[in-house]
Structure 1
Amino acid sequence: MAHYDVIVAGIGAMGSAAAHELARRGQRVLGLERFDIPHAMGSSHGINRIIRLAYFEHPLYVPLLRRAYELWRETETAFGEQLLHITGGLDAGAPDGRVVTGSLAACREHDLPHELMDAAETRRRFPGYRLAEGHVANYQADAGFVMSERAIIAHVTMAMARGAEIRAREPILGWEPTAGGGVRVTTARGTYEAGRLILSTGAWIGDHVPALTRLAIPERQVLGWFQPKVPAHFALGAFPVSIVESRHGSCYQFPVFGVPGFKIGLYNHLRQHGHADSLSREPTEADEQALRRVLAEVFPDADGPTLALRCCLFTNTPDEHFVVDTLPGLPQVTIASPCSGHGFKFASVMGEVLADLATAGTSRHDLSLFRLDRLAA
């Protein structure tokens, strides 16, 4: 039976970065992925994902983000391809809403340069936006997007170049601790042993960690790309990435890039939850209309013909923070999921974090917000 230093189960955002970092450190790594690499069944497809420093979710994320930016730059230099694009970013909504107040709190606590604008000034600076009267936008210049699928390809390619063994289309059926303090993993194709195991299986994490079965809830999301009526308003260089609170919910959007059309998504979309295998990946008319309601209200100049609709999955915890921890009583097993729909931007630094946890059992980064036991309280 083949034996490895670390097995990484799930080669998506976090798993691919962990496999790369572990291989870079000289570890013998096996990566296992149930689908293709990359694939469109999980949480990381659809061209790109937002990255931002003005993090309204919690100020504790900001130090991790600063390191993530550094590592994304290192990764793209090593891979020879730009992965991080800076566009500036807006966090917009009611002045007392969660997005604006949280964004401002992160900026103030971490001395991030920022600019608060009213709806009229936002429209003057960025004509694609039509914020509701009385709403405001916090602008932070360091925001942008990461090329999500290309980043996974980069991490996997470099991991293999350093000796990692990566096996796609090989779902794990189960795992168990061994008498020597390691792990044994069984897949549809074989059995493997290692000193350490990283579980980064995204929307399937509840299948592999019983403590998360009822706490890591997959949710169906739909991304849309629409032909702008005024293309110049949504071009790269003219349109910043953004999170906007509207009457129809909080939405996130990108300038036109990579494929035709203005990209937009709606947090919690149609609030469809279930096991990852049971959620439909086929977009519907209802999905399109949910996105068009936001377009009509906030981005009317982008409300043109549909160019593409794609489904992906969020996996949400009750407090919407990550779970990054070792399992109680099993320090050889690290979990890195769920990430509640806002995890991809952290993949570069999480590769470093997970490699630390798998090799040393601790990390220099503050992970207190992500402890598993908080969800049992």
Structure 2
Amino acid sequence: MGAGQRYDVIVVGMGGMGSAAAYQLARRGKRVLGLERFDIGHSMGSSHGVNRIIRLAYFEHPDYVPLLRHAYRLWRETEQAHGEQLLFITGSIDAGPRGSRVAAGSLASCIAHGLEHEELTAGELARRFPGWRLPDGYSAVYQAEGGFVASERAILAHVWLALRHGAEIRAREPVLDWSTTAEGVCVRTPQGTYHAERLVLSAGAWMGEMVPALAGKAVPERQVIGWFWPKDPELFALDRFPVGNLLTEHGHFYVFPQWGMPGFKIGLYHHFNETGAADDLPREATARDEEALRTGIRHYFPAADGPVMSLRGCLFTNTPDEHFVIDTLPGDPRVVVASPCSGHGFKFASAIGDILADLACGARPAFDLDLFKLDRLGKAA
């Protein structure tokens, strides 16, 4: 089965970026094959766990903001096309000690791009959003357009839409190898061999194994996210608690209101700094993982310090500078490389899928992608 079949584009990986690329290519009339090693919508990678933060105030780098505006537009278009809400607006908080990277970087991004925002002291933040309890000397930036994307539902929406536009999607079909030929690209799986004009590689935590130029540069890292039933649930309701990033002496936490799962959701960037091959990192959560998350809750969200509802492991895939990779392979524009996203990429999936479709069609994207060039990372480690 599958021997010798030919497509315009093959997309490897049907996670956040790959599913969006498959949809955008299919809607342009391309004959698309999407390959996924696991199930469509699985828990082995980086996109499960109900939802992911989206925010316009971007402390990581102001150059992300134009891409974010495009992502917001496309999430709304995807909602309309699929008939299901995917983007939820709660407002966003970026906070930390006054002058710290998160608070100051968010403010700089707002100023650079003319985003409406408010600067709040710790006391002002607590009075406005009582679920937040920060120490004196902390500051926060509130931006009203922040919120979250229903990440699991968004992947399914992109796959549904890709199928509706004629794409062929195959789950539980891992890629054994890929190669380029004079005629295009060739992808081999246990089920068959497929040929195409172009190839999009969007395999998340497995990118370092799939793309030699990313070996040692795309490093999988174990994460754990948790949901905790609050002592005062109303303080963490969807309309009373903004999503947020909080840099503290105990680590960098990210938080969500209650939605989709019972409880307040919290994660800790670079959880225990556990890195390794994607297949070797444990997904099971432990009491030690819970305690790391509770440390953040007890110090900064004490009204949420109730029983644990759920703990789930997932993966980040980090580059050395924690910026994305969105590029074609050096010397071969037929092969498009998508991400890794260093733990802050899902919000961009709608926009990156559109850009990947441009690159796979040989078109020039409408965005400056210099920050995401592959060759900035140097030679493989």
Partner of 2:138: 135
Q: Contact 1:10–1:32 (CA<8 Å) still a contact in 2?
A: yes
Q: TM-score, normalised by structure 1?
A: 0.99
Partner of 1:33: 36
Q: TM-score, normalised by structure 2?
A: 0.98
Partner of 2:246: 244
Q: Secondary structure at the match of 1:360?
A: coil
Partner of 1:172: 175
Distance in 2 between residues matched to 1:6 and 1:140, nearest whole Å: 39
Partner of 2:255: 253
Distance in 1 between residues matched to 2:26 and 2:85, nearest whole Å: 22
Q: Secondary structure at the match of 1:172?
A: coil
Distance in 2 between residues matched to 1:261 and 1:131, nearest whole Å: 20
Q: Which amino acid aligns with 1:273?
A: T
Q: Secondary structure at the match of 1:195?
A: strand
- Indicate the percent of aligned positions where both proteins have the same amino acid: 64
Distance in 2 between residues matched to 1:221 and 1:324, nearest whole Å: 23
| Residue 91 of structure 2 corresponds to residue 118 of structure 1 | no
Partner of 1:278: 280
Q: Contact 1:325–1:334 (CA<8 Å) still a contact in 2?
A: yes
Q: Contact 1:118–1:136 (CA<8 Å) still a contact in 2?
A: yes
Partner of 1:337: 339
Q: Which amino acid aligns with 2:7?
A: Y
Partner of 1:366: 368
Runs of 4+ in 1 over 2 A off after TM superposition: none
Once the two structures are superposed, residues 15-54 of structure 1 have per-residue CA deviations (whole angstroms, 9 ceiling, x without a partner) of: 0000000000000000000000100000000110000000
Q: Which amino acid aligns with 1:362?
A: R
Distance in 2 between residues matched to 1:284 and 1:241, nearest whole Å: 25
Q: Unpaired runs of 5+ in structure 1?
A: none
Q: CA deviation at 1:8?
A: 0.1
Distance in 2 between residues matched to 1:339 and 1:368, nearest whole Å: 15
Q: Which amino acid aligns with 2:90?
A: T
RMSD (Å) for aligned C-alpha atoms: 0.7
**Equivalent residue runs for 1:61-140 within 5 Å:** 61-140=64-143
Q: CA deviation at 1:187?
A: 1.1
Q: Unpaired runs of 5+ in structure 2?
A: none
| Residue 308 of structure 2 corresponds to residue 306 of structure 1 | yes
Q: Contact 1:331–1:361 (CA<8 Å) still a contact in 2?
A: no
Q: Secondary structure at the match of 1:277?
A: coil
| Residue 160 of structure 2 corresponds to residue 157 of structure 1 | yes
Once the two structures are superposed, residues 236-264 of structure 1 have per-residue CA deviations (whole angstroms, 9 ceiling, x without a partner) of: 10000000011211110100001101000
Corresponding residue pairs, total: 376
Distance in 2 between residues matched to 1:207 and 1:189, nearest whole Å: 20
Distance in 1 between residues matched to 2:112 and 2:339, nearest whole Å: 27
Q: CA deviation at 1:361?
A: 4.5
Once the two structures are superposed, residues 295-337 of structure 1 have per-residue CA deviations (whole angstroms, 9 ceiling, x without a partner) of: 1100110010000000000000000000000001111000002
Q: Secondary structure at the match of 1:120?
A: helix
Q: Contact 1:246–1:298 (CA<8 Å) still a contact in 2?
A: no
Partner of 2:197: 195
Q: Secondary structure at the match of 1:151?
A: helix
Q: Secondary structure at the match of 1:221?
A: strand
| Residue 313 of structure 2 corresponds to residue 315 of structure 1 | no
Partner of 1:235: 237
Q: Secondary structure at the match of 2:52?
A: strand
Q: Secondary structure at the match of 2:376?
A: helix
| Residue 17 of structure 2 corresponds to residue 14 of structure 1 | yes
Partner of 2:48: 45
Q: Which amino acid aligns with 2:124?
A: E
Distance in 2 between residues matched to 1:214 and 1:108, nearest whole Å: 36
Distance in 1 between residues matched to 2:12 and 2:98, nearest whole Å: 42
Distance in 2 between residues matched to 1:202 and 1:11, nearest whole Å: 9
